[in-house]
Amino acid sequence: MSENTASEKRSRTPLDLTFTDVEALQRFVTDSGKILPRRVTGLTPKQQRHVTRQIKRARQVLLMK
């Protein structure tokens, strides 16, 4: 039981996001659908590339616009 509570308490980083986490990915997209740049999101280059890939995957399977 302690494993579940430890994983729930662990903060999620942008690298933990997958294309199915549409609500979380919406934070990195404007209302018009553009992906926000690093200078706005404050992500590291690695995190920004990961988030961008996940947004594009979500768009491919029509989970996001």
pLDDT, one tens digit per residue, over 11-32 is 789 999 999 999 999 999 999 9
- Domain presence at residue 65: no
Q: Could you give the residue ranges of the DSSP H alpha helices within 1-65? A: 2-9, 22-25, 38-41, 45-60
Q: Is the pLDDT of residue 6 over 90?
A: no
CA distances in angstroms from 2 to 5, 6, 35, listed in the order given: 5, 6, 37
Domain hosting residue 32, numbered range: 2-60
Query: Any idea what the CATH number is for the domain that residue 23 is in?
Result: 4.10.640.10
pTM of the predicted structure, to 2 decimals:
0.82
Q: Number of folded domains in the chain?
A: 1
pLDDT-based confidence at residue 2 (cuts at 50, 70, 90): low
